[in-house]
Structure formats: C-alpha cells, structure tokens
Amino acid sequence: MVSPTRSGESFLPSGEARICAETFGRATDPAVLLIGGAAASMDFWEDEFCEPIAAAGRYVIRYDLRDTGRSTNYPAGEPGYTGADLVTDALAVLDGLGVYGAHLVGLSLGGGIAQHLAVDHPDRVASLTLQSTSPAGPGGPDQPDLPPMEPRLAELFASESPGVAWSDRDAAIEAMVEGERIFAGSVPFDAERARRLAARVYDRTTDMAAMQTNHWILEGTGPLRDRLGAITAPALVLHGTDDPLLPFPHGEALAREIPGARLVAMPGMGHQYVPEPLWDLAIGEIVAHTVG
C-alpha cells in the first residue's frame, strides 16, 4: 500500500519525453529535488532515505532520468537527447509538480545537473547539495588538483569485458550488484540489500540495456568549472573519503570554488548512494541545509 505521505508515480512532460516522478510529504513544505546518478533510476533514492527527510517537513521529489525506470527510453546506443536535455528535465519535473524553487540534491551525474541549474537558473535553486561529484570530471594531467580515478577502475574501464545479457533478470541483477560493489568504499558492502534494490530496479525499468548504456555516451553540457564562482545558492558538499572514481580532492575543489560552500566528509563512503550506516549523517545534513 502507498504510504499516506507518498504520492505514487506520475508522468510529467518534458518536450517529447515523459518523466516518471514520485513525491513524499506535503506540497506546502520546502521542496527537495533528488537528482540521481548515471544509469540509476529513482529507486536508488531508497524509500527509507526519503521518508525521514519528508517527516522533517520537506516535500521530497525523486524521478527517473531519461533511459531509467519508467521515463522515456531510447534504443541502447542511440540516446535521442543530450546532457542539456537532462538539465531541462529537472526543471520540467518541478514545473509539472507546480514547484518554482527547490533545494537540489544531486549525486554524481546528478551533481553536474544541479551545478548547471545553479549557474543558469539561480532563481529556481533554493540551495545546493552536491554528493560524489566534481567541478570537472575524473581529472588528469590537465587538472593536477583533481586526481584521476584509482588504477583498478581505470584498468577495469580499459579492459574488454564480456557483455551482460540485460534481458536475463538474474544475470542483470547480479551485474548491478557487482557494479555497485566496485564503486563502494570501506563501509561494509551490504550485498543482500543491493540485490533487493537491483531486483526492484529491474522490475521497474523499461529497457535495462538502454539504462546501462546511453548515459555514458551522451553529448555533454560543456565545461562549467570557471563559472562555479557565480553560484549564489547556499551549497553543501558531501563527499566520500574513499571515492575511487572521484577521489576526495574533487569534493574539496567544489567546496573551495563555490562561494561559501561547506564540505562534509562521509567516512568510508565510495562513489555511491549513501550507504545505510551513513544515512543519519547525510539526512541530518540535508535537513539542516534545506530549512526554508
């Protein structure tokens, strides 16, 4: 049964696309828009994570990015949209729910979307929370203050790995679990919880192959690092101390380059949605940052 404070799914228009969204809490409370990472449906913002934020007096909104969950999908390898469209989709979700300004919580790719919204649409952004993201991507020789991903990940990405039969439910679930494990930090990895979540994701997703492919080959939205100083929204940076993809200095750089931003280290967290042992810390910080 749907919780009394939970809306159930709705489909909101964004150009030719339909974006699947769900809310927790009262529409009269300050809105918190959760913007997820690449190849991740809104299910990764787990119910038990959203509910205490709503109980603290927030109108929590989560949604499926294009090519995830039940939002519009495109053939695998042929995304019919760009990174800029993902930015527009976030505004379309707010418009469809009758929300003008919102507190944004963006993770990884979602953090990049949130940064673009804060720079280009500052009147729509009440505050900014950036988790597991970066001012300029994975880093490298041209950005010496932003260390590259850990060698084990670089080797993995460079290797020729056999394809996953995404239409095979059991194989797809196991592949998602192992994918989460690779990016986890030193906080103990809860494989059974990850498996339950992966099963939910699989059962809600229209096209698993598209979800696992298309975000990685999108045309980007262009460099943003030199514009971060223009952000006026109050900013909070949550970054894992054990992030193997975007090591901790990426979070430090964001906090340094966004005026007035505050950095909170997430002990032992990798490049991942907040693991359950750190929920109290993350939820407490988000609630305190989104007053009004």
Neighbouring residues of 166: CB distance < 8 A, sequence distance ≥ 6: 172, 175, 208, 209, 212
Q: Count CB-CB contacts under 10 A for residue 267.
A: 13
243 among known catalytic residues: yes
Q: Which of 242, 243, 250, 289 is catalytic?
A: 243
Structure tokens at 278: 């750190």
Q: Is-contact 254 130, C-beta < 8 A? A: yes
The DSSP bridge partners found for residue 237 are 130, 263
Give pairs for 88-92: CB < 8 Å, separation 24+.
88/14, 88/15, 89/14, 89/17, 89/19, 89/63, 89/65, 90/33, 90/35, 90/114, 90/117, 91/117, 91/121, 91/124, 92/12, 92/13, 92/14, 92/15, 92/19
Structure tokens at 137: 């991507």
* Angstrom distance (rounded) from CA 92 to CA 219: 20
Q: Which of 103, 239, 271, 289 is catalytic?
A: 271
* Angstrom distance (rounded) from CA 213 to CA 38: 9
* Angstrom distance (rounded) from CA 134 to CA 249: 9
Q: Which of 108, 127, 132, 134 is catalytic?
A: 108
What values do phi and psi take at 181, rounded to 5?
A: -60, -40
Q: Could you give the residue numbers annotated as active site?
A: 108, 243, 271
